[in-house]
Structure 1
Amino acid sequence: MTSRGDAVSRPARRPAAPLSHRVVLATGWTRRGLALLAGACGALAMAPVGFVPAMAVSLTVAVWLIDGAERTATSRSGARRHLGPTLRSAFSAGWWWGFGFFTAGLHWLGAAFLVDADKTAWLMPLGVVGLPAVLGIYAGCAFALARALWSAGPARLLALGFALLVTELLRGSLFTGFPWNEIGMALGSNLVLAQGASVIGLHGLTALAVPVFAAPATLADRDGAGRRNLAPTLLAALTLIGLAAFGVWRLAGGPAGDVPGVRLRIMQPDVFGDGEFTYENKDALLAKYLALSDRATSPDRTGLADVTHLIWPESPFPFILSRDPDALDAIGRILPKGTVLVTGAARVEGSQGSPANPPRYFNAIQVLEHDPASGAAAVGDTYDKVHLVPFGEYTPFLGLMERLGISQFVPIPGGFTPGPRHRLLHVPGLPPVVPAVCYEAIFSGGLVPRGDERLDRGVILNVSDDGWFGRTAGPWQHLAQARLRAVEQGLPLVRAANTGVSAIIDPYGRILEELPLGEAGVLDGFLPRSIAPTVFSEINQFIPSIAACLLLTVLFLVRYGDGRRRTRNL
């Protein structure tokens, strides 16, 4: 037997490395997997989940991944020697982070490929995996740019903020733009925090969100005495508290009241798929729309006679409304004098078989009124959609795509033609209308036309068809982004969506009335008044430049201050 004194002493177990060190030192597929999971976690901050702290986890890991983007060499003695930063490693981490973020946030796109599964199901990987893979390039470029500006200490948070702001701006403009779920929506999806958009807009929220949510990464930093640097995280927390306080103060102002004499009715038909939306079924469809629109919902809303403005969603007709006398006649018979119908509708210019004037199709919003002379509905003002959806409404590189068997979802010959510019829509009885067809509502600062009359009052009208995406996160994300346009501009938002979510939203972003997703019905309400022009509405074209310059200025001031302190300590 051995006594206790003779027992062999075992070496003490080494403490586990901190999480930050594990991320920084990760290599290979471990590093890629961490980046993928971190990006996917960030998508939880978006609607409909809206778990804001998820973006803090995502961007904290992003900072540590960029910290670890260094080339190293191992000497014969086993010591590791740093050879300096590598942009390739940073780009790789950023691409995997972006791939995770966009795959988790845009997975619902797969539903669109199942609408006509016989023709498009085989293309589903292009939407569910291919698009996130392409969008991941933006995040990869952001991580590489941030690494080029990288330094030790809190300044690196500003480098990442500047880089992601630049690439998010590019994502919203290159190739017609696809700014879906910009990082600032982590703040913009929360009604209280979203009030900051009235001053700095979505791009300003992005510039603010990145350093704020990435700040916990600096808790792993220690000075020469081994102390943690708490200042960046405390400053980030105070920034969020200040933003929330501003939001609470702004929302405490109460409702702005209603526009007198305007009684709205939004018709949500919930018509999509199952062979219902066909030309052969056009009469039944129109009959359904008219019956829904004239439905009694309360003692003071017994039908269209108690409505001043009827709103129908995007392109609800499987035919060209303005060229169908029977449809115009049916609408005119049920539309009372003084009631205006505003509806999405495809329209066409030119004619088949005319080489000199071939047909051009537009995705439009049209205004219809009862014509006493003919008894039919007469088409008034029209707005043509400017921002078309790639592969949905037009096909880039059409010849190549057709050879590959890839076509757009909407079966319009040659695709839709974009409208010439954003402009106001004039609707009798309403203040100036800012039209937004479908995903035009996700473009910050691009809706209100410049050069037209000043919008001291008005309303944003968003007609959409989110039926392509079923009962997924897509329609809720679309609603959240459209709602932020109301906050930015200080204008109410009226939204008519085929399958939902239809809503009336006040200029603070509060949803006053709402029709659930996937439910047919009508939504009655009044038009909220607009409020005084917001700071953002006055200077929105300058916000991205101001935000980028501020981030760069503070970045270099912090780096210069850190450099001077290190010099004094030598």
Structure 2
Amino acid sequence: MRLAGVAEAVILAWGWRKRLIAFAAGACGALALAPLDLWPFVVVPMTVAIWLIDGAVGTTAGQRFRAGFAAGWWWGFGFFVAGLWWLGAAFLVEADKFAWAMPLGVVALPAFLAVFPAFTFGAARLFWPAGATRILVLAAMLGISEWLRGHVLTGFPWNVYGMMLTGEVHLEQVASLIGLYGLTLFAVAIGAAPATLGTGRGVGRWAPSVFALIGLAGFFGFGLWRVPSGASPVVPGVKLRLMQPNLSQDAKFNGTHGPAILEKYLELSDRATSPENPGLQGVTHLIWPESAFPFLLGRTPGALSRIASALPPDVTLITGAARAGEALPGESRPPIYNSIQVVNDEGAILASYDKVHLVPFGEYLPPVLGTLIRAVGLSQFVSVPGGFSSGTRHAPLAIKGLPPAAPLICYEVVFPGEVTPRGPRPAFFLNLTNDGWFGLTSGPHQHFAQARLRSVEEGLPLVRVANTGISGVVDAYGRVVASLPLGAEGVLDTALPRRGPATLYGRAGDAVFAGLVVLFLAISSFTRRRRRQRT
């Protein structure tokens, strides 16, 4: 079937056929995400999006908006269901408490997120030009809606469309200039370019596809220029040991398992990996994952004493742990923070960082919805009465023997432009996480891919330790230096790569993205005026 026939079938589809086409096209976009990273599939959802909006007809502006809104909702629903299905695994960790609510994660959340592209399709239809520049309109408006999705209601920038172009390390380097949201503009424009092959006339219908290929070649060439040919230099005198315990989630948060969990960590941490690496001797820093213990480490002196007895002299432990703050007057209990804590070889906690960007419904219940949610029998997943409290600010973490670190706990790492503290530029990202909630699904792969992209954007290496994986070290260009696979137990000895040069995105943030949005819309507006003058 010729491409023109496919385009005509999509544009003229109606009713359930159009909804099914939109859903399937959106779902195809998930093939371009981790772990498959089949980035050429970006063409399917974006090209079909153009044709869906072309077919959103009506005699009034309101009818056209509603037609575009409906097509965009089904398109977005397909994308988010296919990309976020793995969220259902979290509801089965404590199935007796949460299994009944699985549709909230697998269906309700994608249904809500689909509202963002729905409004985009509807609004785009109101300003929909003829010809190739409608590709730029869609790119600009989807870029704006993705930025809003990453910021509204604390934000959820998971699987932003720009992630479809990050499966190849050279292709993603342009994020050092324009960031994830800027990359989204080009992912949409490049993916939608073939739409004119099915709807245009004459030689001009080839122009968008030719420009898309030139753009891809330019991105790849920039990546070849930016990424050094050899290994990145390392920080001298630093030998990291990353410990990935691969504990089941139900065991990890059972308080009665606390002593056994600590002993497992210590035994695994001291495991010999080769004759040259006979355990903790020679290691400078041992790193454990997020929320490592089912107890408050700072209020469990026996655990600190046991850690001190196991650490060789001058070895520092960096670990995730719940931390109790000071109770305010009139409060019945102290605030509990999800923290990173630094412990020396004498068992003293030298420094802490408290997670700032908590996971709604996972670590706390939003105040506005909390009463309603509790009324239907739902609580946050983490078993902390009242939920975790939020830290006050992103701050660098001072660790003896290491350059300044930018600490990030769990999904704090997925927020572009919000991962470095104010002040002097840090030397690396330290990301402790626990993706054990999601089992051996695509979720942890997507999380690791987004963490990698922060290294590209900011020019900073990443040290990431996860309970069940993926743990590893990434250099300042997004290249994986060493890693432990998902679902494996083990330790990883590695050096710390040096930071790279400061990036344009690291200095300017999303200002470049905003400028590109204006440019895309200006080109479309100028072309529309020229076309009207000719007619």
Q: TM-score, normalised by structure 1?
A: 0.90
Structure 2 CA distance for aligned equivalents of residues 264 and 249 of structure 1: 30
Is residue 2:31 matched to residue 1:53?
no
Give the corresponding residue for 1:468. Answer: 437
Quick one: which amino acid aligns to residue 388 of structure 1?
A: L
Give the corresponding residue for 2:288. Answer: 312
Is residue 2:11 matched to residue 1:35?
no
Give 1:389 shift. 0.7
Trace 1:306-345 onto structure 2 (pairs within 5 A). Answer: 306-345=282-321
Counterpart of 1:378 (choices 343, 348, 353) is 348
More divergent stretch after superposition (244-253 vs 140-149): 244-253
Residue by residue, what CA displacement relative to the aligned partner does 1:171-209 show, whole Å, maximum 9, x if unpaired?
A: 101111110000000112321211111111111101111
Give the corresponding residue for 1:249. Answer: 225
Give 1:466 shift. 0.3
Structure 2 CA distance for aligned equivalents of residues 183 and 264 of structure 1: 34
Task: Note if contact 2:61-2:126 (Cα within 8 Å) is conserved in structure 1.
Answer: no
Residue 461 of structure 1 aligns to a residue whose secondary structure is: strand
Give the corresponding residue for 1:368. Answer: 343
Task: Note if contact 1:271-1:499 (Cα within 8 Å) is conserved in structure 2.
Answer: yes
More divergent stretch after superposition (116-125 vs 356-365): 356-365
Structure 2 CA distance for aligned equivalents of residues 253 and 276 of structure 1: 42
Structure 2 CA distance for aligned equivalents of residues 203 and 16 of structure 1: 30
Is residue 2:427 matched to residue 1:458?
yes
Cα gap change, 1:16 to 1:207, in 2 (>3 Å): closer
Cα gap change, 1:134 to 1:530, in 2 (>3 Å): same
Task: Note if contact 2:355-2:390 (Cα within 8 Å) is conserved in structure 1.
Answer: yes
Give 1:558 shift. 2.4
Structure 2 CA distance for aligned equivalents of residues 83 and 530 of structure 1: 52
Give the corresponding residue for 2:215. Answer: 239
Trace 1:500-539 onto structure 2 (pairs within 5 A). Answer: 500-539=469-508
Task: Note if contact 1:203-1:543 (Cα within 8 Å) is conserved in structure 2.
Answer: no
Q: Which one has the largest radius of gyration?
A: 1
Unaligned runs of 5+ in 2: none
Give 1:543 shift. 2.7
Give the corresponding residue for 1:113. Answer: 91
Give 1:254 shift. 2.5
Residue 435 of structure 1 aligns to a residue whose secondary structure is: strand
Unaligned runs of 5+ in 1: 1-14, 73-81, 372-376
Give the corresponding residue for 1:400. Answer: 372
Residue by residue, what CA displacement relative to the aligned partner does 1:221-248 show, whole Å, maximum 9, x if unpaired?
A: 334xx55611111001110111111112
Residue 53 of structure 1 aligns to a residue whose secondary structure is: helix
Task: Note if contact 2:471-2:485 (Cα within 8 Å) is conserved in structure 1.
Answer: yes
Is residue 2:181 matched to residue 1:203?
yes
Give the corresponding residue for 2:453. Answer: 484
Residue by residue, what CA displacement relative to the aligned partner does 1:34-93 show, whole Å, maximum 9, x if unpaired?
A: 100010001111000111121111110000000011116xxxxxxxxx999610000100
Is residue 2:524 matched to residue 1:555?
yes
Residue by residue, what CA displacement relative to the aligned partner does 1:98-129 show, whole Å, maximum 9, x if unpaired?
A: 00000000000011111111111100011000
Task: Note if contact 1:282-1:319 (Cα within 8 Å) is conserved in structure 2.
Answer: yes
Structure 2 CA distance for aligned equivalents of residues 84 and 520 of structure 1: 57
Residue 189 of structure 1 aligns to a residue whose secondary structure is: coil
Structure 1 CA distance for aligned equivalents of residues 473 and 243 of structure 2: 12
Give 1:357 shift. 6.1
Task: Note if contact 1:392-1:409 (Cα within 8 Å) is conserved in structure 2.
Answer: yes
Quick one: which amino acid aligns to residue 362 of structure 1?
A: Y
Structure 2 CA distance for aligned equivalents of residues 559 and 164 of structure 1: 20
Give 1:536 shift. 1.2
Structure 2 CA distance for aligned equivalents of residues 260 and 420 of structure 1: 33
CA RMSD of aligned residues (A): 1.9
Give 1:257 shift. 0.8
Residue 134 of structure 1 aligns to a residue whose secondary structure is: helix
Give 1:95 shift. 0.4
Counterpart of 2:403 (choices 428, 431, 435) is 431
Counterpart of 2:51 (choices 61, 64, 81) is 64
Give the corresponding residue for 1:422. Answer: 394
Quick one: which amino acid aligns to residue 465 of structure 1?
A: N
Task: Note if contact 2:4-2:197 (Cα within 8 Å) is conserved in structure 1.
Answer: no
Q: TM-score, normalised by structure 2?
A: 0.96
Task: Note if contact 1:70-1:83 (Cα within 8 Å) is conserved in structure 2.
Answer: no
Give the corresponding residue for 1:122. Answer: 100
More divergent stretch after superposition (398-407 vs 274-283): 274-283
Give the corresponding residue for 2:515. Answer: 546
Structure 2 CA distance for aligned equivalents of residues 286 and 329 of structure 1: 12
More divergent stretch after superposition (470-479 vs 147-156): 147-156
Structure 2 CA distance for aligned equivalents of residues 83 and 307 of structure 1: 67
Structure 2 CA distance for aligned equivalents of residues 291 and 235 of structure 1: 57
Give 1:276 shift. 5.7
Structure 2 CA distance for aligned equivalents of residues 266 and 100 of structure 1: 37
Quick one: which amino acid aligns to residue 46 of structure 2?
A: L
Task: Note if contact 2:179-2:510 (Cα within 8 Å) is conserved in structure 1.
Answer: no
Cα gap change, 1:216 to 1:17, in 2 (>3 Å): closer
Counterpart of 2:357 (choices 387, 397, 401) is 387
Quick one: which amino acid aligns to residue 72 of structure 2?
A: G
Give 1:167 shift. 0.7
Quick one: which amino acid aligns to residue 514 of structure 2?
A: S
Task: Note if contact 2:410-2:433 (Cα within 8 Å) is conserved in structure 1.
Answer: yes
Give the corresponding residue for 1:359. Answer: 334
More divergent stretch after superposition (238-247 vs 103-112): 238-247
Residue by residue, what CA displacement relative to the aligned partner does 1:396-454 show, whole Å, maximum 9, x if unpaired?
A: 2211111011111101111111111111111111111011100111111101122x22x
Give 1:545 shift. 1.8
Structure 1 CA distance for aligned equivalents of residues 447 and 249 of structure 2: 20
Quick one: which amino acid aligns to residue 551 of structure 1?
A: F
Structure 1 CA distance for aligned equivalents of residues 228 and 431 of structure 2: 26
| Paired positions, count | 533
Task: Note if contact 1:188-1:205 (Cα within 8 Å) is conserved in structure 2.
Answer: no
Structure 2 CA distance for aligned equivalents of residues 206 and 342 of structure 1: 35
